[in-house]
């Protein structure tokens, strides 16, 4: 999770240009995803209608994030979806000794996500990047110093790329040895 619920929602589809892998296949998946997201209420119930709204919000956020990555004007239809969703009621928050507690139904959660999306997409200093692993297609927020991060996540992509590069180097360095011995 990136710390921005809107980008996290957009990242629930991976490998968008090849064979998309969608982790939100049903309303129950969405309920689980919301519960796992730190910035959202622990418990919501999703019916099919709000599930569909969540998916269209997700695609709109992805489209706008992609527009930001490529530094082009925002897609109008996606702007409308995100702005309309953000205008709805938001979750309530309460402070207690154990911290902040957020509650609200799924529609409020979607408004909250849309607002997080607007906040990051409007921030001129937010460095949005597409993951450097070919085929991943996830968009993430690079908060590292000097914005030098290359992958959406180390576990998901960074280590995979590094392991593949290591195997390739190993192949390249062992290959000529079979013919070796000339220099001695």
Q: Shortest Cβ distance from residue 89 to Zn ion (Å)?
A: 34
Q: Shortest Cβ distance from residue 123 to Zn ion (Å)?
A: 22
Cβ proximity to Zn ion: between 118 and 136 the closer is: 136
Q: Shortest Cβ distance from residue 11 to Zn ion (Å)?
A: 9
Q: Shortest Cβ distance from residue 159 to Zn ion (Å)?
A: 11
Under the binding rule (CB under 5 A), the answer on residue 58 touching Zn ion is no
Cβ proximity to Zn ion: between 26 and 144 the closer is: 144
Cβ proximity to Zn ion: between 148 and 171 the closer is: 148
Binding marks (x or -) toward Zn ion, 124..143, rule CB under 5 A? -------x-x--x-x-----
Cβ proximity to Zn ion: between 109 and 157 the closer is: 157
Cβ proximity to Zn ion: between 30 and 136 the closer is: 136
Say which residues have a Cβ less than 8 Å from residue 75's Cβ, sequence separation at least 6: 60, 63, 64, 67
Stretch that binds Zn ion, among 17-25, 49-57, 92-100, 153-161 (CB under 5 A): 153-161
Beta bridge partners of 93: 102
Cα separation, 53 vs 13, in Å, equals: 16
Residues at the contact surface with Zn ion, assessed by CB under 5 A: 131, 133, 136, 138, 152, 157
């Amino acid at each position: 999770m990136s710390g921005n619920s809107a980008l996290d929602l957009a990242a629930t589809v991976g490998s968008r240009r090849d064979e998309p892998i969608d982790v939100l296949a049903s309303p129950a998946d969405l309920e689980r995803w919301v519960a796992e997201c730190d910035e959202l209420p622990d418990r919501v119930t999703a019916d099919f209608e709000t599930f569909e709204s969540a998916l269209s919000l997700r695609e709109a956020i992805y489209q706008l994030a992609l527009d930001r990555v490529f530094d082009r004007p925002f897609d109008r239809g996606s702007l409308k979806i995100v702005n309309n969703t953000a205008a709805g009621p938001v979750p309530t928050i309460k402070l207690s000794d154990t911290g902040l507690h957020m509650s609200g139904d799924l529609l409020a959660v979607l408004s909250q996500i849309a607002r997080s999306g607007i906040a990051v997409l409007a921030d001129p200093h937010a460095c949005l990047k597409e993951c450097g692993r070919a085929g991943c297609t996830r968009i993430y927020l690079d908060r590292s110093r000097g914005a030098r991060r290359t992958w959406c996540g180390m576990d998901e992509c960074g280590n995979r790329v590094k392991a593949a590069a290591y195997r390739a180097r190993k192949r390249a360095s062992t290959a000529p040895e079979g013919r070796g011995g000339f220099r001695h």
